[in-house]
């Protein structure tokens, strides 16, 4: 009985992963379409505003397409060897609370991005988000919470002069 519930739970997780990756693929297609509408070279021949968004868009499309294909293959393999479960019980949804927490954190990130600035808001978002996604790995989580926003600042603000919200840190 427990085996059937675990099997259905695993299949449900794969289906939700496929739904997420499908939505990500669709959003990535829209983003990539907009990115390819931007000029990727300036009149001087230097890299323009559309260069980096094109790379990001193609990366989103590639990664989400590969992930979606892998999820589909896993789901088909599970279904081909699945057995009927006569219990009919529905397994719990263990990731619902984490998803709700992350959506709430993203709302807070968007609300604080301009007042606090991109670097500080990203750091304050990543600390609790990584605590939810990667529990117990405090040193790794804090390292990533500082390194990723600093790397984002160095790449986008210093390297590409893209202009990030400065917020309370000034600019």
Average pLDDT over residues 53-73: 92
Domains of the chain, by residue range, sit at 1-93, 95-171
- Summarised one tens digit per residue, pLDDT across range 64-116 is 999 999 988 888 877 766 554 445 454 456 677 888 889 999 999 999 999 99
First-to-last C-alpha distance (Å) of the chain: 61
- Summarised one tens digit per residue, pLDDT across range 15-40 is 888 889 899 999 999 999 999 998 88
Rounded CA Rg of the chain: 21
Judge whether residue 58 has pLDDT over 90: yes
Judge whether residue 169 has pLDDT over 80: no
- Residue 15: predicted pLDDT: 85
- Residue 24: predicted pLDDT: 92
Q: Give exposure, 21-30, as e/b (b: 16+ Cβ within 10 Å).
A: bbebbeebee
């Amino acid at each position: 009985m427990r085996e059937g519930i675990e099997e259905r739970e695993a299949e449900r997780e794969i289906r939700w992963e496929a739904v997420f990756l499908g939505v990500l693929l669709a959003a990535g297609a829209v983003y990539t379409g907009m990115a390819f509408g931007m000029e990727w070279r300036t009149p001087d021949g230097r890299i323009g505003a559309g260069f980096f968004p094109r790379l990001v868009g193609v990366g989103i499309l590639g990664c989400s397409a590969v992930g979606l294909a892998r999820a589909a293959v896993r789901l088909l393999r599970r279904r081909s060897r699945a057995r009927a479960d006569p219990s009919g019980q529905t397994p719990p949804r263990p990731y619902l609370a984490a998803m709700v927490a992350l959506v709430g954190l993203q709302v807070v990130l968007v609300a604080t991005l301009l007042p606090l600035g991109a670097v500080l808001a990203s750091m304050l978002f990543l600390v609790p988000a990584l605590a939810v996604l990667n529990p117990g790995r405090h040193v790794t989580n804090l390292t990533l919470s500082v390194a990723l926003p600093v790397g984002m600042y160095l790449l986008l603000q210093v390297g590409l002069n893209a202009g990030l919200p400065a917020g309370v840190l000034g600019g």
